[in-house]
A and B are shown apart, each in its own frame.
Chain A
């Protein structure tokens, strides 16, 4: 499908850009981390990098290891704003949470939705409706990522 393969192509291009940073890593572990990092950032930067989980993922990547910032910036093509983390909650989501009382909602969440929140990056701060929406988008992107990586691995 044309649109789906363009997503994959975009992912591939960005992934290659990230890999070209070319740190000389000798061990498998370091190489694997570099590959995975570039792949994750690339998949988060595809389409419009505006959805919640993408921003959360990029923020996590940068905060875990500040040297990753170069990879992110190279792939994204522009500088990361430091306020990305604070703009995570959109006004509507924030309003919903505030309206219902944050603590009340947190107490009521069952273990499944907690499990899902742990999986989806940035899931802790989403409410139920948004969580499912973000999960949907995340699943699609993950699928594309896995598909491209699998094909690449099958070829080489």
Chain B
């Protein structure tokens, strides 16, 4: 494995380096195209991200897998600093990464596929063995990214084969890399079947505790990156604390929305039947055949769909106010058909608005959802009393 290294270095650093680089870049590009085609053909887009971004995220996921193996595979002499730097650049380009950005990010990190030809079988076998213990872990971690699981295993195998040519290729191709291209000093753990293999970086402590700590920290930061994609508004805040705050707020607001929506549905329907609506809803999912509904209801529902889809998933927190205002009017008009006392409706109108205003003001505080539900139950019991009267 190490015999291939001097040749590649020589090729890159020689006076004819340009030719070599061009060929390397060409190979990278062709390989990248192949991968993109594979990704788009064989696997459905990743379910959790928007349609525009699925390719970018599959690329991101590939990078994640690479960094996993880079850190834990132990079979190569990579540059984790460069990889992390790439990730950061990649992530900071925002959720609307263009294909160009992705294609420029990928060759840097996937660049070692170009050098796959250098390597020999033994390296592959040992990597396969270690990959076997990693694969349940990978499967557990990335089970959400099902579409890319197979791709990941293919690419990680390819990458595990390539060796330290990564550093030279990446530094030559990536002018912006930080000085962390100092190749790590290797301290390998004893290869046991159920241990994670880690390489220590240069100048860092190599005792087992700090290595384990570092592995754990890196896992945490990897997951924080996924969460950063998912939670809107996390791009501006950096650092674990701020992001955790955002995540906590987001989860709280989602849970409150569930409460609120279930209440709204309870208020709208006097009985718990949703059969008609389920037909309508099937229309909303594009893969399904249309339902048999009369035309005017079709038109009405189209406008509501546009309204809803306009808000989109990414703006869940911000237009909460807008949705609240929209939904204030809806239950009132619906209830008017069910309840026959106008005075009761007035009271309900006022109390709904107060309630929702309270809900919205509580959103960005550290309020607990139990408080909201207590408020709601209090209000409802008052209402219940009025209904009985």
A positions within 8 Å CB-CB of B: 1-9, 12, 15-16, 19, 22-23, 25, 27-29, 31-32, 34-36, 39-40, 112-113, 115-116, 119-120, 128-129, 132-133, 135-140, 142-143, 145-156
Contacts and interface: CB of A to CB of B under 8 A. Distances in A.
Nearest to A19: B272
B260 to A, nearest CB: 9
Contacts of B275: 16
29 contacts: A2-B44, A2-B287, A3-B47, A3-B147, A7-B47, A15-B274, A28-B383, A29-B377, A29-B380, A34-B266, A35-B262, A35-B265, A35-B272, A40-B258, A119-B251, A136-B144, A136-B227, A137-B144, A139-B254, A140-B144, A142-B254, A142-B258, A146-B258, A150-B323, A151-B305, A152-B281, A153-B264, A156-B265, A156-B334
Contacts of A154: 304, 307-308, 330
A31 B269 CA distance: 9
A99 to B, nearest CB: 9
B141 A133 contact: yes
What are the 10 closest A-B residue pairs judged by CB atoms, nearest first? A3-B47, A31-B266, A32-B266, A132-B223, A36-B262, A149-B261, A142-B254, A5-B285, A35-B262, A112-B244
A156 B271 CA distance: 13
Interface of B: 44-48, 50-51, 54, 141, 144, 147, 216, 219-220, 223-224, 226-227, 230-231, 241, 244-245, 247-248, 250-252, 254-255, 257-259, 261-269, 272-275, 277-278, 280-282, 284-288, 301, 304-305, 307-308, 313, 316, 323, 327, 330, 334, 366, 377, 380-381, 383-384
Residue in A22, A113, A136 whose Cβ sees the most chain B Cβ within 10 Å: A136
A112 B248 contact: yes
A27 B269 contact: no
A143 B313 contact: yes
A109 B216 CA distance: 15
